[in-house]
């Protein structure tokens, strides 16, 4: 428009005859001039040309040598003169073709309007450094306080004064001030924030930045995950997130993982955080038949595989961990244990780009245990018989084997080399209105077991973002993954205790049972566990901007997970001496497990600026349904026991139900959030949620949860800067609020009957439980306060947080006298569990130059867990495991005293069998990590150390008593008591009878069975080399990077077992040390 | 702005109500609610069958298994000895029960109350139902009343005064106090009279072709009421009731062969419990029949006392038919009860006998003796004796008669249902018989009542312990 106007006025000036021109009122004659630094005299002469009006003034009124900058476009002359003269106290009067300048007297009118006070429409285009538009960038004009927000094309239009200053900010970028300076179009490039203070943080139903957060949120990014050689994304968070303690329960691929966010809040209900993947809640508990089976009949060695293993870690953009009430209260009765938000990658605008990543390598057990050799083993066994004054029986076959053979079973069972291969490819790109990313992945892991056991995962995921206009946006995600697990049905680590002098495993190609005398460890290789998992997820997010400040959005999605399990046991894998009926022909356990859920969350988002306060509000609604359906069958009597037919359920002539679990869970809620930000200095955040869940009786009132958080960014205070010049950022925040826990069994409030006993050809139905429809969610009250400081332009960031969470109304089985018909009823019990703790973080970009950088991140958490009160605990079965004033994770045991030098057995202080006064805490006392990223030219090195201070089971006391038949022992046991007066670490050997055996059973339940299992571990190392540009260009690549990676390379620990992380009371497959090499290329 | 507020308010109200409805999930097809169980005849029947299933199940107090009244009371009395190393079992033999004894708590106290809860729930639930056909409703209610009376009968006999409840609200049932035993007896008798009026005279079978007597009928209620009347000292009632059962010769008669008394189709059976555990016939058969010396574990740890063996008269066929022996590895002869002949086996031919006609004869004999009808009493007694191949006796006095009846009850009903223990108690002979027999200074007269489980006292302040514990 502007050039045309200019042309028009020029035409007018040239073409119009003077007479016509004279018809335009003098003061309204247009002036168009845009020039910097012009003398007033010259400017006035230009005005004469354009208006045909001459000025009359004298030099004491106006210094015409003064220079000014002007920008007028068809501006009426009055306004031009007002701009030039008013501030000098002058006014003017027209007289024919002249205007006379004079001093203004009181009462004189003020003709004209100052042109720069007239608002103008400014179009602002905000992009990043690569010219990609930034939507939702926030613009505030000073001094008027007008605000605006960019649309999906990065464009915002604002009516501002011409001399206004715009502050342009967007999460993840450094805030940039820009002078309007009469420009009507401003192109603004935001620089990515140097510190992580302004990086985007995904929070509940939205995003924020570290700078503006009022709650406790931690995040790890795709870059962090890429450094880890893990299949389960949860494991990538080990050592990186303060307040989040994660340990593997088994090192097997897909094995169970223990996750505790700021400690255990619940005595008996679940302690899992709420997982949300791209807006859809994800199951936290394993979908395996292990749930429905007793521990002794476990179908797999994974101990409850972790469902998040189904996700492809390579597709994850970020994982945010929400910890305090401010961050989690909006999740209502599901948020008490914290929330883990997982966001997957979306397409980046630009030309099509292909990223391919492949790595491959090997894994070994880090620390192999040393067991007794054949001679030592026989010495132990004979001594044990002697001590117990028992002659060898004909069942003591291991003595008859002699010492001629020696097998290192540790090496046979866990000494193999695991293979690991991971390949990922992603295609992405798009124009502004359409972004796409399609990614496929494949991963295969084998084990250190003998035999060809393995785990495979293949996945495909598509993310599409469609922006048809600047009001509407649609995001669609479709993900599919497929896992195949092929493992032995029990953890072969247990077989490392096979006697070292055991006979040949095979004779003539068949398993050698040595007349049935022992359980041939190789037979376990024939009893596999096979699982097939499919996971389909779809998610659609629609956003529509109703008007500038009000947006409607809705997300809807579903997960569909299917796990098919089989555990075939062929007849020839069973010890013939066990009396197994060969006609039964082996048996198979079948498990069919299905989980599906859907969620719809419509919501309104409203943002407005009132003066200096920017307010954003969110009002939303949730509808959710989960269905879990798990069935197990035990099939036997297969014809002839043919191993090939064991997986055909029709081939079995006897099939019995082995477990059934079904529930339907429904949940809905109304939630509200409001956030006020006053000049980026004072931030107040309020959330509330009212929800209802099918786990509680419908007669109960709604659950209402709320939180409030406030932050004071004191470094923004003008008095602060001179006072503490070294401080570039300072924030003090605090939050308080409530959230709930509803992780209990479904339908528990409904009186039901279930088949209990067959009677006279029909199932009898007995009442399952007493009914109580009054119990409610457990309630957590969470308080947190934190100090966040930035130094040296935020190159160094420090955070310290203190929290105190108290969970009351514990959902436990309240003990009842049996006259009620049952021993307990589910009820809110007035027991209180408290978690307090300190969390410290230090994040520093010490060196950040173009080709050299060093970034280091250190975090440490000191959690404290306490059962504050549990009235009447003495009358409950919890008295065996819990104690008031102590953490929930304790072992109550006998107080170990010493090995009696005379009798040579463990002795204990105190008397009686119930004297369990020794308390040992098994939850971590302190944990954290230290991460370093170094870059030098094309080289990059990433290192992560993890450290944990904890007490766990003492490996040397977890097996059976040293001296028991068919049970090898660590070499340490040779330091045992033998004769009167011996000072030894172990009591006398026993083969399973007498005082020594009894005292061994007691020592396993004593404080001596718990030992220090602290460790410092080099969790991951990643060294990569980026190929130089000229090579890349020759190869027509965008970039290429070679890397070598290592996982769990070394561990410093005083713990005697295989690995302190999996220090359980039995032998467990440890996490492996993994070494890989790989390549990343971008086309 | 006003309009926006109004819209939001309406939205909230709408969502609030829709919330409720949405989260009210119906039970899945895998569970049946306490109300739905009364929606048809077959489902309602399953609620009653559940009670019998519980009684005869592995942990049932009425099962005949190691922790049933049959075994434990026989240990407390002079019928069984044990070689078990398990304290909970040995304490019964030694009459030195600890209130924390797990068999007391779970089997003898907990299980009856569990069945009582199920019966109470049924009686409350069925009343509200109009979907169960009237005949079935009547029959099943009768069975629930019978089951409740049966459980309370054992509770009141083993523990003395016990808490009595017909409700199912745990908030009330957790604070019950002990009711006087006469009150409990009155309730039992009243339940049995109601049961008698509700139950059909014929036995009901799930499959009509099965001629089983595994669910109580009218005569079972009368038979138990006869026993209750005897225990209450209502001799006339006891006589009339037992008389009516004995008079029903169409359904009941003494099996002439002792080997057929405990079989499935025994005509002597008034009520049997049908075993429901795969691989065994009856728990009695599994536990009592010894194939080697008694074990130190729990199963097969019991043997008949020499006192009992020696009490058999010469020529008593029961000694031959109902007692057998095995020679243990220590060359000792161990006698065991052989009323049930089958130890293991998939196809049951014996059911666990609860009420049988021989007991009715002995009840009538005792009632008649008390009423002064010596001739009638002798006649009944000899009916039982003659089946055992013993000569008739003619006790001249009431006291001699009562002593003969007590002896006969011992020989006829040993290892069945704790009859001996209950008889000694109610006749006031427990101390006199057991103190010399057990040859222990530990016997105290307070041992006739078992202790209230310790955990019950801790959880319910209203309960007081029996004396002596």
Q: What is the pLDDT of residues A749-762, one digit of tens each?
A: 888 888 888 898 88
ipTM of the complex in this document: 0.92
Please tell me the predicted confidence (pLDDT) of residue A172: 67
CA distances from A641 to A150, A581, A636, A645, B61 (A): 70, 11, 9, 8, 41
Q: Which residues of A236-261 are buried (b: 16+ CB within 10 A; e: fewer)?
A: bbbbbbbbbbbbbbbbbbbbbbbbbb
Mean pLDDT of B171-193: 95
Please tell me the predicted confidence (pLDDT) of residue B7: 62
Please tell me the predicted confidence (pLDDT) of residue A580: 67
B32, B46, B210: residue with CB nearest A764? B46
Evaluate if residue A949 carries a pLDDT over 70. yes
Chain A, nearest residue to B210 by Cα:
A760
Distance of CA A1003 to the CA centre of its chain: 39
Tens digit of pLDDT for each residue in A844-862?
888 877 788 899 999 999 9
Chain A, nearest residue to B106 by Cα:
A818
- Pick the residue with more confidence: A226 or A8? A226
Mean pLDDT of A1055-1073: 92
CB contact under 8 A, B110 and A818: yes
Least confident of A305-314, A443-452, A506-515: A506-515
Q: Please answer whether residues B323 and B290 qualify as being in contact, where contact means their C-beta atoms are separated by less than 8 angstroms.
A: no
- What's the pTM value of the predicted model, to 2 decimals? 0.81
Evaluate if residue A117 carries a pLDDT over 60. no
CB contact under 8 A, B49 and A667: no
CB atoms within 10 A of CB A1036: 7
Please tell me the predicted confidence (pLDDT) of residue B150: 97
Tens digit of pLDDT for each residue in A403-419?
899 999 999 999 999 99
Q: Please answer whether residues A86 and A110 qualify as being in contact, where contact means their C-beta atoms are separated by less than 8 angstroms.
A: yes
- Of B317, B300, B319, the closest CA to residue B308 belongs to B319
Tens digit of pLDDT for each residue in A862-877?
999 999 999 888 877 7
State percent of chain B over pLDDT 90: 74
Evaluate if residue B28 carries a pLDDT over 80. no
Tens digit of pLDDT for each residue in A804-815?
999 999 998 888
Q: Which residues pair with A1026 in a beta bridge?
A: A1041
Please tell me the predicted confidence (pLDDT) of residue A743: 87
Please tell me the predicted confidence (pLDDT) of residue A315: 94
Task: State in Å, rounded, how far the first CA of chain B is from the last one.
Answer: 77
Please tell me the predicted confidence (pLDDT) of residue A17: 44
Please tell me the predicted confidence (pLDDT) of residue A12: 46
Q: Please answer whether residues A218 and A321 qualify as being in contact, where contact means their C-beta atoms are separated by less than 8 angstroms.
A: yes
Evaluate if residue A553 carries a pLDDT over 90. yes
CB contact under 8 A, A757 and B54: yes
CA A750 to CA B35: how far, in whole Å?
10
CA B74 to CA B87: how far, in whole Å?
16
Evaluate if residue A233 carries a pLDDT over 50. yes
B52 Cβ under 8 Å from any chain A Cβ = yes
Q: Report chain B's C-alpha Rg in angstroms.
A: 25
Please tell me the predicted confidence (pLDDT) of residue A157: 85
Mean pLDDT of B38-45: 91
Helix axes of B134-159 and B69-76: crossing angle, nearest 10 degrees: 20
CB contact under 8 A, B15 and A621: yes
Please tell me the predicted confidence (pLDDT) of residue A952: 92
Please tell me the predicted confidence (pLDDT) of residue A11: 46
Band of pLDDT at residue B15, cut at 50, 70 and 90: low
Please tell me the predicted confidence (pLDDT) of residue A19: 45
B23, B35, B46: residue with CB nearest A668? B23
Q: Please answer whether residues A320 and A274 qualify as being in contact, where contact means their C-beta atoms are separated by less than 8 angstroms.
A: no
A760: which chain B residues are within 8 Å (Cβ-Cβ)?
A: 49, 52, 205-206, 210, 212, 214-215, 274
- Pick the residue with more confidence: A537 or A1032? A537
- Of A290, A322, A315, the closest CA to residue A218 belongs to A322
Least confident of A74-78, B46-50, B283-287, B301-305: A74-78
- Of A401, A398, A402, the closest CA to residue A385 belongs to A398
HSE, CB side, 13 Å, CA atoms: give it for residue B192. Answer: 23
CA A797 to CA A857: how far, in whole Å?
9
CA distances from B468 to A151, B447, B451 (A): 86, 7, 8
Band of pLDDT at residue A581, cut at 50, 70 and 90: low
Nearest-CA distance A727 → chain B (Å)? 44
B39 Cβ under 8 Å from any chain A Cβ = no
Please tell me the predicted confidence (pLDDT) of residue B133: 93
- Pick the residue with more confidence: B238 or A431? B238
> For the residues of B379-419, what is the DSSP string, one character each?
HHHHHHHHHTTPPP----SHHHHHHHHHHHHHHHHTTSTTH
Band of pLDDT at residue B9, cut at 50, 70 and 90: low
Least confident of A139-153, A783-797, A916-930, B279-293: A139-153
Residue A344, helix vs strand vs coil: strand
Q: Please answer whether residues A420 and A444 qualify as being in contact, where contact means their C-beta atoms are separated by less than 8 angstroms.
A: yes
Please tell me the predicted confidence (pLDDT) of residue A464: 95
B52: which chain A residues are within 8 Å (Cβ-Cβ)?
A: 757, 759-760, 764
Band of pLDDT at residue A514, cut at 50, 70 and 90: confident
Angle at CA of residue B42, ends B36 and B44, nearest 5°: 50
Please tell me the predicted confidence (pLDDT) of residue A749: 87
B351: which chain A residues are within 8 Å (Cβ-Cβ)?
A: none
- Burial of residue A643 (CB within 10 Å: 0-12, 13-18, 19+) is middle
Please tell me the predicted confidence (pLDDT) of residue A950: 94
Tens digit of pLDDT for each residue in B427-456?
999 999 998 888 767 788 899 999 999 989
Evaluate if residue B271 carries a pLDDT over 90. yes
Evaluate if residue A16 carries a pLDDT over 50. no
Please give the mean pLDDT across all residues of chain A.
87
- Of A141, A140, A184, the closest CA to residue A164 belongs to A141
Residue in this structure with the two tokens 């669609």, named with its chain if needed: A476
Q: Please answer whether residues A724 and A716 qualify as being in contact, where contact means their C-beta atoms are separated by less than 8 angstroms.
A: no
CA A150 to CA A170: how far, in whole Å?
10
Q: Residue B374 is encoded by which pair of tokens?
A: 């010596």
Tens digit of pLDDT for each residue in A992-1021?
888 898 899 889 988 899 999 999 999 999
B23, B207, B276: residue with CB nearest A667? B23
Mean pLDDT of B60-88: 92
- Burial of residue A395 (CB within 10 Å: 0-12, 13-18, 19+) is exposed
Helix axes of B398-413 and B374-387: crossing angle, nearest 10 degrees: 30
- Pick the residue with more confidence: A105 or B243? B243
What 8-state DSSP symbol labels residue A1010?
E
CB contact under 8 A, A752 and B22: no
Evaluate if residue B60 carries a pLDDT over 80. yes
B278 Cβ under 8 Å from any chain A Cβ = no
């Amino acid at each position: 428009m502007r050039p045309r106007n200019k042309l028009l006025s020029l035409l007018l000036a040239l073409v119009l005859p003077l007479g016509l021109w004279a018809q335009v009122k003098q003061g309204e004659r247009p002036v168009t001039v845009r020039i910097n630094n012009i003398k007033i005299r010259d400017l006035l002469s230009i005005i004469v040309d354009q208006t045909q009006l001459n000025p009359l003034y004298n030099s004491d009124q106006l210094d015409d040598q003064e220079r000014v900058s002007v920008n007028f476009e068809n501006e009426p002359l009055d306004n031009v003169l007002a701009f030039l003269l008013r501030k000098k106290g002058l006014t003017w009067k027209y007289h024919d073709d002249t205007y006379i300048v004079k001093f203004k007297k009181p009462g004189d009118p003020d003709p004209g309007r100052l042109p720069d006070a007239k608002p103008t429409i400014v179009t602002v285009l905000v992009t990043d450094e690569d010219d990609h538009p930034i939507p939702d960038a926030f613009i505030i004009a000073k001094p008027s306080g007008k605000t605006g927000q960019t649309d999906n094309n990065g464009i915002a239009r604002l009516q501002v004064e011409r001399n206004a200053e715009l502050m342009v900010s967007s999460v993840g970028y450094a805030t940039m001030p820009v002078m309007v300076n009469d420009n009507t179009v401003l192109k603004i490039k935001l620089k990515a924030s140097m510190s992580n203070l302004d990086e985007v943080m995904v929070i509940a139903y939205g995003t924020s930045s570290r700078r503006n957060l009022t709650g406790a949120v931690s995040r790890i990014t795709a870059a962090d995950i890429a450094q880890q050689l893990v299949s389960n994304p949860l494991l990538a968070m080990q050592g990186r997130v303060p307040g989040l303690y994660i340990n593997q329960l088994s090192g097997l691929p897909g094995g169970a993982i223990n996750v505790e966010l700021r400690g255990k809040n619940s005595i008996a209900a679940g302690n899992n955080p709420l997982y949300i993947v791209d807006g859809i809640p994800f199951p936290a508990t394993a979908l395996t038949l292990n749930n429905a089976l007793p521990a002794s009949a476990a179908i797999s060695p994974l101990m409850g595989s972790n469902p998040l293993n189904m996700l492809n870690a390579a597709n994850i953009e970020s994982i945010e961990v929400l910890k305090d009430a401010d961050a989690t209260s909006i999740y209502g009765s599901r948020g008490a244990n914290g929330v883990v938000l997982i966001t997957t990658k979306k397409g980046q605008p630009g030309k099509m780009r292909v990223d391919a990543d492949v790595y491959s390598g090997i894994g070994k057990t880090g620390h192999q245990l040393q067991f007794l050799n054949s001679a030592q083993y026989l010495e132990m066994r004979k001594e044990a018989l002697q001590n117990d004054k028992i002659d060898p029986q004909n069942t003591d076959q291991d003595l008859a084997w002699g010492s001629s053979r020696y097998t290192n079973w540790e090496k046979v069972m866990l000494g193999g080399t695991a293979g690991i291969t991971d390949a990922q490819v992603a295609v992405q790109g798009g124009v502004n209105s359409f972004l796409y990313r399609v990614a496929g992945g494949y991963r295969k892991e084998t084990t250190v077991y003998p035999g060809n056991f393995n785990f495979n995962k293949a996945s495909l995921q598509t993310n599409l973002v469609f922006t048809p206009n600047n009001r509407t946006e649609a995001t669609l995600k479709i993900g599919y993954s497929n896992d195949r697990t092929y493992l032995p049905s029990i953890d072969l680590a247990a077989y490392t205790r096979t006697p070292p002098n055991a006979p040949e495993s095979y004779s003539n190609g068949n398993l050698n049972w040595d007349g049935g005398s022992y359980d041939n460890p190789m037979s376990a290789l024939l009893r596999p566990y096979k699982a097939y998992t499919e996971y389909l997820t779809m998610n659609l997010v629609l956003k529509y901007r109703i008007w500038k400040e009000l947006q409607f959005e809705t997300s809807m999605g579903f997960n569909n997970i299917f796990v098919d399990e089989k555990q075939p046991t062929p007849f020839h894998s069973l010890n013939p001496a066990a009396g197994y009926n060969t006609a039964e022909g082996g048996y198979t356990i079948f498990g069919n497990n299905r989980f599906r859920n859907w969620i719809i969350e419509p919501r309104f988002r409203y943002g407005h600026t009132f003066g200096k306060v920017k307010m954003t509000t969110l009002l939303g609604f949730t509808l959710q349904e989960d269905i879990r359906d798990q069935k197990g069958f035990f099939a036997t009597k297969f014809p002839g026991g043919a191993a090939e037919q064991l997986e055909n359920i029709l081939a079995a002539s006897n099939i019995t139900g082995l477990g059934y679990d079904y529930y339907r869970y429904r949940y809905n809620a109304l939630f509200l959030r409001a956030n006020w930000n006053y000049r980026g200095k004072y931030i107040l955040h309020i959330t509330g949620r009212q929800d209802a869940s099918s786990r509680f009786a419908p007669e109960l009132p709604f659950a209402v949860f709320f939180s409030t958080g406030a932050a004071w960014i004191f470094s923004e205070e003008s008095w602060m800067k001179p006072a503490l010049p070294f401080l570039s950022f300072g924030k003090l925040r605090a939050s308080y609020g409530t959230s709930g826990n509803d992780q209990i069994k479904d339908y528990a409030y409904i009186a039901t009957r279930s088949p209990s006993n067959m009677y006279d050809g029909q199932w009898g139905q007995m009442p399952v439980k007493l009914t109580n429809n009054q119990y409610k969610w457990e309630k957590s009250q969470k308080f947190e306060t934190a100090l966040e400081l930035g130094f040296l332009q935020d190159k160094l960031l420090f955070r310290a947080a203190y929290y105190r969470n108290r969970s009351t109304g514990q959902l436990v089985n309240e003990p009842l006298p049996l006259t009620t018909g049952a021993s307990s009823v589910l009820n809110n019990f007035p027991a209180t569990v408290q978690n307090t703790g300190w969390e410290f973080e230090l994040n520093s970009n010490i060196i950040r130059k173009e080709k050299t950088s060093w970034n280091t991140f250190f975090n440490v958490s000191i959690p404290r867990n306490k059962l504050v009160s549990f009235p009447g605990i003495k009358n409950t079965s919890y008295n065996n495991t819990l104690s008031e004033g102590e953490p929930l994770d304790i072992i109550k045991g006998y107080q170990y005293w010493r090995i009696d030098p005379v009798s040579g057995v463990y002795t204990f202080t105190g008397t009686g069998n119930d004297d369990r006064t020794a308390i040992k805490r098994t939850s971590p006392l302190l944990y954290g990590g230290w991460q370093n990223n170094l870059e030098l030219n094309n080289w990059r090195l990433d290192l992560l150390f993890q450290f944990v201070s904890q007490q766990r089971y003492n490996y040397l006391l977890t097996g059976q008593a040293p001296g028991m038949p068919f049970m090898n022992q660590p070499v340490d046991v040779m330091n045992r008591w033998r004769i009167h007066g011996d000072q030894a670490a172990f009591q006398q050997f026993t083969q399973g009878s007498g005082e020594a055996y009894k005292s061994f059973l007691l020592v396993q339940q004593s404080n001596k069975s718990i030992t220090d299992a602290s460790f410092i571990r080099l969790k991951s190392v990643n060294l990569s080399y980026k190929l130089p540009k000229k090579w890349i260009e020759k190869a027509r690549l965008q970039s290429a990077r070679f890397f070598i990676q290592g996982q769990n390379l070394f561990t410093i620990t005083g713990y005697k077992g295989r690995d302190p992380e999996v220090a359980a009371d039995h032998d467990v497959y440890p996490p492996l040390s993994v070494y890989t090499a790989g390549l990343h290329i971008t086309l | 702005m006003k309009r926006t507020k109004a819209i939001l308010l309406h939205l909230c109200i709408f969502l609030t109500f829709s919330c409720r409805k949405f989260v009210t999930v119906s039970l899945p097809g895998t569970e049946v609610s306490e109300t739905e169980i009364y929606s048809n005849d077959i489902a309602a029947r399953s609620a009653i069958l559940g009670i019998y299933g519980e009684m005869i199940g592995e942990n049932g107090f009425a099962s005949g298994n190691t922790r049933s009244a049959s075994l434990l009371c026989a240990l407390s009395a002079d019928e069984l000895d044990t070689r078990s190393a398990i304290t909970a079992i040995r304490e019964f033999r030694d009459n030195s029960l600890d209130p924390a004894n797990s068999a007391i708590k779970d089997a003898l106290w907990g299980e009856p109350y569990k069945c009582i809860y199920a019966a109470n729930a049924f009686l409350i639930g069925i009343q509200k139902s109009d979907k169960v056909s009237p005949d079935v409703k009547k029959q099943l209610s009768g069975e629930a009343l019978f089951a409740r009376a049966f459980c309370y009968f054992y509770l009141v006999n083993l523990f003395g005064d016990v808490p009595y409840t017909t409700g199912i609200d745990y908030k009330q049932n957790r604070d019950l106090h002990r009711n006087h035993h006469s009150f409990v007896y009155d309730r039992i008798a009243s339940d049995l009279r109601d049961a008698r009026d509700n139950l059909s005279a014929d036995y009901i079978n799930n499959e009509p072709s099965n001629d089983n007597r595994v669910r109580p009928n009218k005569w079972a209620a009368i038979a138990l009421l006869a026993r209750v009347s005897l225990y209450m000292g209502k001799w006339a009632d006891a006589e009339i009731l037992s008389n009516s059962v004995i008079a029903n010769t169409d359904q009941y008669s003494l099996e002439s062969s002792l080997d057929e008394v405990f079989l499935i189709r025994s005509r002597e059976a008034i009520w049997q419990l049908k075993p429901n555990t795969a691989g065994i016939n009856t728990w009695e058969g599994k536990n009592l029949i010894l194939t080697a010396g008694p074990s130190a574990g729990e199963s097969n740890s019991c043997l008949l006392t020499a006192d009992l063996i020696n009490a058999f008269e010469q020529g008593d066929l029961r000694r031959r038919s109902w007692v057998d022996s095995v020679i243990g590895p220590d060359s000792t002869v161990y006698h065991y009860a052989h009323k049930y002949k089958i130890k293991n086996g998939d196809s049951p031919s014996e059911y666990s006998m609860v009420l049988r006609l021989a007991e009715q004869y002995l009840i009538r004999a005792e009632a008649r003796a008390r009423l002064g009808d010596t001739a009638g009493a002798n006649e009944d007694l000899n009916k039982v004796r003659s089946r055992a191949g013993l000569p008739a006796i003619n006790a001249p006095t009431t006291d001699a008669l009562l002593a003969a009846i007590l002896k006969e009850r011992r020989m006829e009903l040993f290892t069945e249902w704790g009859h001996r223990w209950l008889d000694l108690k109610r006749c006031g002979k427990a101390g006199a018989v057991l103190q010399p027999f057990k040859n222990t200074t530990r016997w105290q007269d307070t041992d006739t009542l078992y202790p209230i489980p310790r955990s019950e006292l801790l959880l319910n302040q209203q309960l007081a312990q029996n004396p002596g514990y």
